[in-house]
Amino acid sequence: MHPERAGNGYRDYQESAVYRVQQIRGMLDSGLTTEIIRRIIPFLDKPHGSASRLPHHS
């Protein structure tokens, strides 16, 4: 995330970035590990067709 800077020097995040942090915080609060969250994030952006990016287990 690369926020803009307001005139007062404060960081100004886009709504989508704020929402993403809220999603991640919720997953962490639910007990998911950062590794699991890292694997889930692509599905949050593109829920259809992302299964091809998952590792295949034998």
pLDDT of residue 46: 79
Would strands 4-5 and 11-12 be described as parallel, antiparallel, or unpaired? antiparallel
pLDDT at 1 over 90: no
* Residue 8, helix vs strand vs coil: coil
What's residue 20's pLDDT? Answer: 95
Q: Please give the Cα distance from 16 to 2 (Å, whole number).
A: 12
Model pTM score: 0.68
Residue whose pair of structure tokens reads 């590794």 in the numeric block: 35
Torsion of CA 31, 34, 39, 40, to 10 degrees: 40
pLDDT in tens, 6-46: 999 999 999 999 999 999 999 999 999 999 999 999 998 87
Residue 54 has pLDDT above 70, yes or no: no
Kindly state the tokens that stand for 52. Answer: 């091809």
